[in-house]
Structures are given as structure tokens and as C-alpha cells.
């Protein structure tokens, strides 16, 4: 299994990041091994009836990286490229992210290999319900709490809540986060990840002595994270000049009205043909001159091919694993790009998920203002800790963020000892 996981490009990337950081931390071999490998890798089949009457079997996964510091927390992804190795890598990053943010969670991730864009609501509901029921023995508010990720949303979470609660015989809101607010979701959860990305990007701009009102941004991906990152950046005074999604890319050096893109996407299903900007090749868009580049879609989009050509001052990694190991080395070598690494940059999502879980356990509701204020306080603290560690140890922001997360997990492993 170790070889199989290491052969997966995304897991290999996460494992190399871990090894490099573990070397820096001088982790002993036993703690290193216990920290690196996931605790549980669950694979299920999900048979459903398609709308045309055919039966189709999908594969679903859940990887629980560690339960040592609390229940595992992490998203559920519906995408054609979902594979066990990818899910395992994402669960590992979630683990370091939760520890970096000092949240009482381990990392988890789930996924179903399917194309939600080609499925009806009924088919998506059936996949979600069957996936949840297959996962019943492994999930719960004290064991594993899922949330939306690529291709899933608050409706997915509502169906999952329904399946779990029906089996329990009463409403169990703490089973997932990112639920609709009237089903005890948290105010502010929908905007949380994007808001956090924009908040941290502007702190990075300040570090680079660039004023927000003079800054420009390019955002890849206009889903939950990318859209709210773009909107919040524009509300902070940053001019958004490029946006892309799966349908295409748009560019306007005078600035794009992000609110209007929301309306266009709602009406047309994508950013393509937006009237207030020109179309541009999506790859070309990434290397245009800007102050903040926000990859908010897929993994491994900043590569050794485009890394030398990047013209941004801040790379705010809203997606998980957007930068390959080779590109990372190029960016470090260049030294002219301020990196906000993924496990810090997109941590707003899991932080507000934590707030939602706490509110659910207490049957309490906080206001959006309360949520976002608490979020900004926690993100600012994590940003400063990463900067402090990077400066003190002379390492990159990525190694600093990973080191803070991994050390926390390693310390707990050592304290708890080895059972039996």
C-alpha cells in the first residue's frame, strides 16, 4: 500500500513535503512513520439508478489521516479525477492544516469519482445518500465530520445530515459542516474560505509594502472559494483583472466587476462570454502581470513550465496542492514571490467549520460578524506564527507552515505513546 500511495502524483507531492519538513524538524524514524501514513483508507462502491434507467456503480473514498487530536475533519469532493491517492494526500494536508490552526481535529478527506456537471440533482442526491449510508460505521460528530469541497455544496451536506439523522432517530447537526443556515449551518461558512484567502492575501501585500488600493489580482476557479476570494479582494480595494473557470478565462486590465460575474455565472453556468472582459487563454492568464495570483481550482496547476514565467508578487494558494514540488523549488529559488501556502491560505474554511461544529454541539448560533471577526483573529495569529518561524529558522513559508502543523501532531503522538 505504501508503494501504491507513493506512486500517486498528488500523494507523492504531499509525502515529499512531509519528508522535507520532518528532516527539518529532526523527527525520529518511529514518529515520522506514525505521522506520515493515514490511519484508515476506506473504499466503497455506490450503485445508483441513472435517469435513463441504467444502473451505474461509482467508487467512493474516505481517508482518515489521524484521529490522535480529535475527530477527523475534511471535505467531500465529487470530481472525475478523484482517486484514493489524491484523497489520501488531501487528508494529510488537512491534518497539518487543523494542527497549524490549533483546531481539535485530525485531517480527513472524501471523494466520489463522478462528474457532477453531467448528473441530474436526483442522481447527485442518490450518490450522496448511498455514499453516506456506506460510511455510517466510520463517521459521527466525535469521529469524522465532512464538509463541502469541489463539486459538492450545502445541499450535499443537507442530504448527508438527513441520512445520518434518520439512522440516529433525531437531528444530528454536528455530523457535517457547511450545511444550510436553517439546518444549523453557521453564518459565514459559505464565504469563509474565500474571505480567509483574501484576508491573508492582503496581509501578504502589506508585507510586500504594496497598498491594497494599488494592487491587482487574478483568480483561477470561480466556485465557492474562488468567487468569494475575488469578491472579498475587490471589497478590500484590490482590482480583480482576470478570472477563469472550467468554461474559459476572462481578462480586463481595467478591472472586472466581480458582482456582475456572479450574475453571469448564475445565468450561464460559467465565466465564458462575460461582457465586461476579453477572453484569454486560461494558461496565459496565469502568467499575466498582477500583484496577487490565486489558484482556486485544481491541484498541480503551477508547474515547472509556468513557474519561471509568473509575474505575481503574492501567490495565495486557495486550492489544495496547486504548486508542484518542482515549481515550488523554482519559486523558492526566484525569491521574488511571497507564498501564502495552501494549508494556511485556505484554512478559513475549516476554521469556520470548527465554529459550526462548536455551535452545533452547544445548540447555539453566532452572527456572521462574530464568525468573521473570530476567523480573522485566528488567521492573523497563524499568519504571524508562520512568518515568525520562517524568519527564525530561515525556511520558506511552506516549510514553516508545515513544520508548525507536523510538530503539533508529532508531539501529541509522542505524548499518547504507542498502543498496545
* Residues within the interface to ligand NAD (CB under 6 A): 75, 148-151, 193, 220-226, 244-246, 282, 296-298, 318-320, 346, 349
**Cβ nearer to ligand NAD, comparing 161 with 210:** 161
Taking the C-alpha atoms of residue 63 and residue 113, their distance in angstroms, rounded to an integer, is 14
**Cβ nearer to ligand NAD, comparing 204 with 249:** 249
Nearest approach in angstroms of CB 310 to ligand NAD is 16
Nearest approach in angstroms of CB 168 to ligand NAD is 25
Residues near 346 by beta carbon (within 8 Å), at least 6 away in sequence: 97, 193, 196, 197, 225, 317, 318, 319, 320
In the sheet that 278-280 helps form, which strands lie side by side, from edge to edge? 278-280, 248-251, 239-245, 216-220, 292-295, 314-316, 338-340
C-alpha grid cell, residue 366: 453566532
**Cβ nearer to ligand NAD, comparing 193 with 210:** 193
Nearest approach in angstroms of CB 248 to ligand NAD is 9
C-alpha grid cell, residue 47: 450503485
Nearest approach in angstroms of CB 170 to ligand NAD is 27
Residue labelled with grid coordinates 506564527: 385
Taking the C-alpha atoms of residue 197 and residue 225, their distance in angstroms, rounded to an integer, is 8
**Cβ nearer to ligand NAD, comparing 126 with 193:** 193
- Which candidate in 36, 73, 97, 109 is catalytic? 109
Q: Is 109 a residue of the active site?
A: yes
**Cβ nearer to ligand NAD, comparing 174 with 349:** 349
> Most distant CA pair in the chain: distance in Å?
64
C-alpha grid cell, residue 97: 492544516
Residue labelled with grid coordinates 472525475: 80
**Around Cβ 345, how many Cβ atoms within 10 Å?**
33
DSSP string, 211-248: -GGG-EEEEE--SHHHHHHHHHHHHTTPEEEEEEETTE
**Cβ nearer to ligand NAD, comparing 111 with 174:** 111
**Cβ nearer to ligand NAD, comparing 95 with 224:** 224
Sign of CA dihedral 394, 400, 406, 408: positive
- Of the candidates 87, 92, 6, 106, the one whose C-alpha atom is nearest the C-alpha of residue 42 is 87
Contact 307, 299 (CB under 8 A): no
Please report, in angstroms and rounded to a whole number, the separation of the first and last CA atoms in the chain: 23
Nearest approach in angstroms of CB 327 to ligand NAD is 16
Q: Which residues of 361-395 are buried (b: 16+ CB within 10 A; e: fewer)?
A: eeeeebeeeebbebbbebbeebbebbeebbeeeeb
Taking the C-alpha atoms of residue 321 and residue 13, their distance in angstroms, rounded to an integer, is 8
Nearest approach in angstroms of CB 108 to ligand NAD is 13
Nearest approach in angstroms of CB 3 to ligand NAD is 26
Enzyme catalytic residues: 109
Amino acid at each position: 500500500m505504501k508503494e501504491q500511495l507513493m506512486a500517486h502524483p498528488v500523494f507523492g507531492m504531499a509525502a515529499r513535503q512531509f519528508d522535507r519538513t520532518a528532516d527539518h524538524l529532526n523527527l525520529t524514524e518511529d514518529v515520522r512513520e506514525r505521522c506520515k501514513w493515514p490511519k484508515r483508507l476506506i473504499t466503497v462502491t455506490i450503485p445508483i439508478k441513472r435517469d435513463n434507467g441504467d444502473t451505474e456503480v461509482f467508487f467512493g473514498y474516505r481517508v482518515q489521516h489521524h484521529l490522535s487530536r480529535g475527530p477527523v475533519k475534511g471535505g467531500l469532493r465529487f470530481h472525475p479525477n478523484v482517486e484514493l491517492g489524491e484523497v489520501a494526500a488531501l487528508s494529510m494536508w488537512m491534518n497539518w492544516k487543523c494542527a497549524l490552526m490549533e483546531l481539535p481535529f485530525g485531517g480527513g478527506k472524501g471523494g466520489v469519482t463522478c462528474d457532477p456537471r453531467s448528473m441530474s440533482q436526483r442522481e447527485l442526491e442518490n450518490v450522496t445518500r448511498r455514499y453516506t449510508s456506506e460510511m455510517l460505521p466510520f463517521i459521527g460528530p466525535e469521529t469524522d465530520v465532512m464538509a463541502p469541497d469541489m463539486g459538492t455544496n450545502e445541499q450535499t451536506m443537507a442530504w448527508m445530515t438527513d441520512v445520518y439523522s434518520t439512522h440516529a432517530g433525531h437531528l444530528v447537526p454536528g455530523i457535517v459542516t457547511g450545511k444550510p443556515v436553517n439546518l444549523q449551518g453557521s453564518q459565514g461558512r459559505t464565504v469563509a474560505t474565500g474571505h480567509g484567502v483574501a484576508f491573508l492575501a492582503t496581509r501578504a501585500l502589506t508585507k510586500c509594502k504594496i497598498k491594497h488600493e494599488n494592487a491587482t489580482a487574478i483568480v483561477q476557479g470561480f466556485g465557492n472559494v474562488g468567487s468569494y476570494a475575488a469578491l472579498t479582494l475587490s471589497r478590500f480595494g484590490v482590482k480583480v483583472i482576470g478570472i477563469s473557470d472550467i468554461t474559459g478565462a476572462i481578462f480586463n486590465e481595467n478591472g472586472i466587476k466581480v458582482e456582475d460575474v456572479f450574475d453571469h455565472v448564475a445565468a450561464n453556468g460559467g465565466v465564458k462570454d462575460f461582457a465586461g472582459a476579453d477572453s484569454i487563454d486560461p494558461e496565459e492568464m496565469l502568467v499575466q502581470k498582477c500583484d496577487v495570483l490565486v489558484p482556486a481550482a485544481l491541484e498541480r496547476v503551477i508547474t515547472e513550465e509556468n513557474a519561471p514565467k509568473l509575474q505575481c508578487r503574492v501567490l495565495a494558494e486557495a486550492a489544495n496542492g496547486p504548486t508542484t514540488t518542482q515549481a515550488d523549488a523554482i519559486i523558492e529559488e526566484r525569491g521574488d514571490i511571497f507564498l501564502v501556502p495552501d494549508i494556511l491560505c485556505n484554512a478559513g474554511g475549516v476554521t469556520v467549520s470548527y465554529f459550526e461544529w462548536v455551535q452545533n454541539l452547544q445548540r447555539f448560533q453566532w452572527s456572521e460578524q462574530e464568525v468573521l471577526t473570530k476567523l480573522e483573529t485566528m488567521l492573523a495569529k497563524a499568519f504571524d506564527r508562520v512568518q515568525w518561524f520562517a524568519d527564525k529558522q530561515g525556511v520558506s513559508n511552506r516549510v514553516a507552515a508545515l513544520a508548525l502543523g507536523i510538530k503539533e501532531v508529532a508531539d501529541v503522538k509522542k505524548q499518547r505513546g504507542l498502543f498496545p
